[in-house]
């Protein structure tokens, strides 16, 4: 790898510079420390370096030229060249650069004759080093020498100890008394132990209690302190931990005993989870509590709420979207008769209707129901894939068919085009029903119907994947939900019973279902 002349020059430079290995490698750019030591021992023993010995390089001339070319083109960076090409070693690449591109070598890999400095030049350099205001590396770069050479000249001229030494011992002298020294060591060890304990307490507080590492452990609740001490009992004594976070020993064992007690609400937890899952995650704590009370169990509503919080039983919510109103006018609008009064003393006196959309991967589905303000029952509904007049007209025909002769409810709608076309108006007039409309772009005027849609989508549509579900399957799911809403879903304002049960209890309907139309 190295020629006889290169090996001999390295050994001679090493001898001339007082066996300074770092200086030799820095100036010549080769070889490494182990190789230079091997050459020097051989030269001392035999007075020669193996002239006849030559080893065949494992790299071709093309690989050498390619490596040197990459080195030159990429800012003369040895590490980048080796990482990109995967070869050779640093020393080998330096040798190739010396041979193939000597003019592209870095400053630290100089070749040629060694520059000899006079004693006056060395003296001036040492003076500038001691009086510098910048780093020693900057002074060395300015003078064109290495930093190691500067300190070597300083050592030769000023000796080991000198008054201008920049490294002064600022620590106070150690006491001569052995006992005082041992006491100081013991104090330092205790301080280190306490600081390590404080650090571990803060780390565990962040890991277990999810607290900020800057929190003061003394401000934690006793339950949190107890959990923190349990996590560190294997590393530190109990008394030390109690003193560090300022917790009485009795309080610690009190909270430990509470944590080891058997959960008295274990059966209630199972029942709460079962009711929540059977409602398809639609019931909040009030409805869950009502179902439990109906089963004959006496329990506080706050206990149910706490159990649901601990078990993460949360009803999914949805984001509100910005309201968009249709600006067109088809026929004259009618008066808002309900005026947001959605309370009814009897069934079939006030009806509400609107149209809502469901967007699934298979397409869009539209629902048009009629709701009775008396108990929130869906009197009739129609489901289809197009929001046309036929969808709402079929729903209205089905709803009219369940009315008695003396029942003429008010039908409240928004100002949508479906409720202003001749087909809707003709059916309303023929049945003797009264029309009522919301103000333009004012959804609160029909808030009861909007609330029904919101609850329906939260309980049945949102937070579920409808991938690979056909439109027909979705319509079946939606229809099942509406039947479940009428017959099974409890309403708190009805005394925790469903609309059908409520009417049966009042003797208003027999054991027959409300007629439903589906398109």
| pLDDT tens digits along 259-315 | 777 778 888 999 999 999 999 888 999 999 999 999 888 999 999 999 999 888 998
- 406 and 495, same structural domain? yes
pLDDT at 79 over 90: no
pLDDT digits (tens, 9 = 90+) for 314-364: 988 776 666 555 555 677 888 889 888 999 988 999 999 999 999 999 999
Residue 476 is predicted with a pLDDT of 93
Is 39 inside a domain boundary? no
Is 31 inside a domain boundary? no
- 405 and 374, same structural domain? yes
Lowest mean pLDDT among 9-23, 428-442, 452-466: 9-23
Residue 323 is predicted with a pLDDT of 59
Check if the beta carbon of residue 362 is closer than 8 Å to that of residue 470. yes
- 294 and 397, same structural domain? no
CA–CA separation, 319 and 181 (whole Å): 69
Beta-strand pair 363-372/356-360? antiparallel
Is 287 inside a domain boundary? yes
Is 90 inside a domain boundary? no
Query: pLDDT class for 72, splitting at 50, 70, 90?
Result: confident
Q: What is the mean pLDDT of the chain?
A: 82
- 477 and 378, same structural domain? yes
Residue 98 is predicted with a pLDDT of 82
Note if the pTM is more than 0.85.
no
Q: Answer with the residue of higher pLDDT: 5 or 151.
A: 151
pLDDT at 167 over 70: no
- 460 and 358, same structural domain? yes
Mean pLDDT value of segment 95-110: 66
- 205 and 284, same structural domain? no
pLDDT at 479 over 90: yes
Phi/psi for 360 (5° steps) reads: -115, 165
Residue 111 is predicted with a pLDDT of 39
Which residues contact residue 76 at a Cβ distance below 8 angstroms, ignoring those fewer than 6 apart? 104, 105, 106
- 502 and 356, same structural domain? yes
Residue 516 is predicted with a pLDDT of 44
Q: Which residues pair with 371 in a beta bridge?
A: 352, 378
Query: What is the number of structural domains in the chain?
Result: 4
pLDDT at 511 over 60: no
pLDDT at 220 over 60: yes
Lowest mean pLDDT among 158-167, 183-192, 470-479: 158-167
Is 421 inside a domain boundary? yes
Mean pLDDT value of segment 215-243: 85
Residue 369 is predicted with a pLDDT of 93
Dihedral sign computed on CA atoms, order 494, 499, 505, 509: positive
Q: Answer with the residue of higher pLDDT: 511 or 333.
A: 333
Question: Which strand (E) or helix (H) includes residue 352?
Answer: strand 350-353
Q: Answer with the residue of higher pLDDT: 401 or 27.
A: 401
pLDDT at 482 over 90: yes
The enclosing domain of 446 has a CATH number of: 3.30.420.10
Residue 42 is predicted with a pLDDT of 86
- 494 and 377, same structural domain? yes
Please report where in the chains the tokens 């709420």 appear, as a residue: 305
CA–CA separation, 408 and 399 (whole Å): 12
Count, residues in the chain:
519
Residue 162 is predicted with a pLDDT of 47
Residue 305 is predicted with a pLDDT of 94
Is 32 inside a domain boundary? no
- 358 and 305, same structural domain? no
- 382 and 475, same structural domain? yes
Check if the beta carbon of residue 24 is closer than 8 Å to that of residue 13. yes
Exposure pattern of 484-494 as b/e (b: 16+ CB <10 Å)?
bbbeebbbeeb
Mean pLDDT value of segment 371-391: 91
- 497 and 373, same structural domain? yes
Most confident of 59-63, 163-167, 258-262: 59-63
Q: Answer with the residue of higher pLDDT: 163 or 475.
A: 475
Is 381 inside a domain boundary? yes
Measure Cα distances from 337 to 42, 340, 350, 436 in Å: 114, 9, 10, 5
- The whole domain housing 404 covers 350-506
Mean pLDDT value of segment 383-387: 91
CA–CA separation, 325 and 337 (whole Å): 21
Check if the beta carbon of residue 400 is closer than 8 Å to that of residue 376. no
* Percent of the chain residues past pLDDT 70, beyond the cut: 86
- 135 and 274, same structural domain? no
**Among 191, 210, 242, which residue terminates a domain?**
242
Neighbours of 78 (CB within 10 A): 17
Residue 113 is predicted with a pLDDT of 42
Check if the beta carbon of residue 256 is closer than 8 Å to that of residue 247. no
Is 354 inside a domain boundary? yes
DSSP tag of 115: P
């Amino acid at each position: 790898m190295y020629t006889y002349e290169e090996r001999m020059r390295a050994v001679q430079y090493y001898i001339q510079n007082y066996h300074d290995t770092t200086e030799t490698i820095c100036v010549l750019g080769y070889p490494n420390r182990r190789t230079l030591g091997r050459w020097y021992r051989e030269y001392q023993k035999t007075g020669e370096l193996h002239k006849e010995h030559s080893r065949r390089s494992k790299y071709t001339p093309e690989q050498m030229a390619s490596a040197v070319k990459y080195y030159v083109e990429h800012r003369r960076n040895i590490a980048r060249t080796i990482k990109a090409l995967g070869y050779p070693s640093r020393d080998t690449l330096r040798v190739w650069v010396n041979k193939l591109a000597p003019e592209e070598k870095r400053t630290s890999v100089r070749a040629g004759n060694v520059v000899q400095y006079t004693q006056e030049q060395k003296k001036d350099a040492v003076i500038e080093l001691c009086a510098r205001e910048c780093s020693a590396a900057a002074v060395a770069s300015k003078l064109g020498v290495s930093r190691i050479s500067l300190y070597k000249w300083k050592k030769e001229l000023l000796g080991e100890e000198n008054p201008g030494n920049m490294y002064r011992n600022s620590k106070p002298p150690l006491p001569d008394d052995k006992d005082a020294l041992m006491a100081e060591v013991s104090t330092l060890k205790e301080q280190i132990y306490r600081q390590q304990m404080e650090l571990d307490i803060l780390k565990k507080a962040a890991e277990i209690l999810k607290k900020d590492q800057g929190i003061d452990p003394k401000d934690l609740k006793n339950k949190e302190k107890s959990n923190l001490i349990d996590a560190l009992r294997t590393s530190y004594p109990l008394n030390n931990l109690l003193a560090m976070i300022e917790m009485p020993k009795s309080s610690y064992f009190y909270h430990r005993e509470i944590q080891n007690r058997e959960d008295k609400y274990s059966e209630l937890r199972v029942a709460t989870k079962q009711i929540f899952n059977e409602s398809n995650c639609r019931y909040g704590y009030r409805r869950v509590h009502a179902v439990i009370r109906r089963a004959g169990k006496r329990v506080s509503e706050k206990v149910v709420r706490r159990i649901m919080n601990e078990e993460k039983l949360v009803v999914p919510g949805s984001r509100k979207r910005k309201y968009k109103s249709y600006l067109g006018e088809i026929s004259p609008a009618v008066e808002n008769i309900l005026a947001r009064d959605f309370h009814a003393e009897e069934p079939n006196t006030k009806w509400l209707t609107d149209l809502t959309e469901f967007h699934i991967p298979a397409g869009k589905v539209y629902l048009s129901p009629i709701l009775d303000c008396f108990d929130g029952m869906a009197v009739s509904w129609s489901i289809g894939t197009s929001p046309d007049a036929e969808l709402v007209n079929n729903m209205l025909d089905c709803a009219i068919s369940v009315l008695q002769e003396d029942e003429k409810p008010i039908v409240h709608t928004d100002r949508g085009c479906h409720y202003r076309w001749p087909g809707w108006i003709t059916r309303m007039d023929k049945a003797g029903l009264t029309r009522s409309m919301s103000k333009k772009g004012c959804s609160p005027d029909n808030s009861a119907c909007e609330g029904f849609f919101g609850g329906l989508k939260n309980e049945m549509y949102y937070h579920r994947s409808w991938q690979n579900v056909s439109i027909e399957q979705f319509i079946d799911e939606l229809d099942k939900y509406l039947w479940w809403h009428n017959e099974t879903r409890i309403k708190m304002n009805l005394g925790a019973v469903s609309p059908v049960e409520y009417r049966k209890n009042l003797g208003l309907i027999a054991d027959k279902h409300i007629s439903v139309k589906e398109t």
